[in-house]
Chains A and B, each alone.
Chain A
Amino acid sequence: MSIFTYNGGAIIAMSGKNCIGIASDTRLGIQFQTVACDFQKVFKMSSKLFLGLAGLATDVQTLEKLLQFRMNLYELREERPMSPKAFAELLSNVLYEKRFGSYFVEPIVAGLNDDGAPFLVNM
């Protein structure tokens, strides 16, 4: 049994011309048992930024809330929207803080820069 497959999940993202797409399954399981079929794993952080989180469901939910919180703080202080690059760097930092006691997630950041160019990061 792997902690990463305990709840199950798959995320896929792709870039195109001035666009990105991101998709996930919506199953919540406990190993082989299915608990729900409408579990959210891709989150819209802003109009041009999506975060997909696969892995242990509790950490998916904790990270979504944590990053939304950090992003809100950033935008309040900076008084401007957070760029996908900055968001990805923030996520990387948040994860590394728990280097020796980590969140069991495999994130994908998918967004569009100000100039419309696609931005994809897999961690």
Chain B
Amino acid sequence: MGDSIIGVKFSGGVIIAADQSNARSILVYQSNLDKIPSLTSHSMLGCSGPNADIVNFSEFIAKNLELYRLSNDDMILSPHAQANFARGELAKALRKGPFQVNALLGGYDVKSKEGELYWMDYLGTLQKVNFGAQGYAGYFVLSTMDREWKEGMNEAEALEVVKHGISNLGTRLLLNQPNWLIKVVDEKGVRTIEFGADPADC
């Protein structure tokens, strides 16, 4: 619950923001963690949960998607297919050794030229959404996003919605989350818009 992830879909892409704190109990290990690993050139997974599971699950999915690309004539699976693949792996692992990862998968679909955002929890529940949150963030930002999200927004407008959410959390959430990493995926691929602390050499 400690990791806050916010995702917003706009016309032509998706923005995902995540706090950069790596902490347990009263100790902050690190404040420049990147919790939004890329899965493919055009998709990313904002993850909430223990660092071990975030890394192992996201790398597992990413490498399998890369294997698919290498085995199938350079085909990058659509975000819909990636999300359902990830969901299946979470569901398979649930009754063996669950990945305790709650995630938001943001991707750009080259066929429809649309951004797609998928909400996924550690049980393997999957739902396509226009905006979403994981962690405590949901308790604060889902209501503001209900109000502010509109169909057909552009990147700048979506970023405003995200930043409003982040500011909201800064005011009202007891946990101190000073650094936020904001990434966008669109037709050009995944790129970082801004960060609180440089995640280089995480």
Which residue numbers of A lie inside 8 Å of B, CB to CB? 7, 28, 30, 33-36, 38-39, 56-58, 61-62, 65, 101
Contacts and interface: CB of A to CB of B under 8 A. Distances in A.
Given A35-B132, A101-B95, A61 B125 contact: yes
Contacts of A57: 123, 125
Interface of B: 87-88, 90-91, 94-95, 119, 121, 123-127, 129, 132, 138-139, 142
A1 to B, nearest CB: 14
Contacts, number: 38
19 contacts: A30-B121, A33-B139, A33-B142, A34-B142, A35-B127, A35-B132, A36-B129, A57-B123, A57-B125, A58-B90, A58-B91, A58-B123, A58-B125, A61-B87, A61-B124, A61-B125, A62-B124, A65-B88, A101-B95
Given A36-B127, A36-B129, A39-B127, A62 B119 contact: no
B123 A36 contact: no
A7 to B, nearest CB: 7
Contacts of A39: 127
Given A28-B125, A62-B91, 8 more contacts: A33-B142, A35-B127, A35-B132, A35-B138, A57-B123, A57-B125, A58-B87, A61-B126
Contacts of B119: 35-36
Contacts of B95: 101
A13 B88 CA distance: 29
* Cβ-closest 3 pairs across A and B: A58-B124, A58-B123, A57-B125
Nearest to B138: A33
Contacts of A33: 138-139, 142
A7 B125 contact: yes
A65 B119 CA distance: 18
A57 B91 CA distance: 11
B8 to A, nearest CB: 15
A58 to B, nearest CB: 4
A61 B121 CA distance: 13
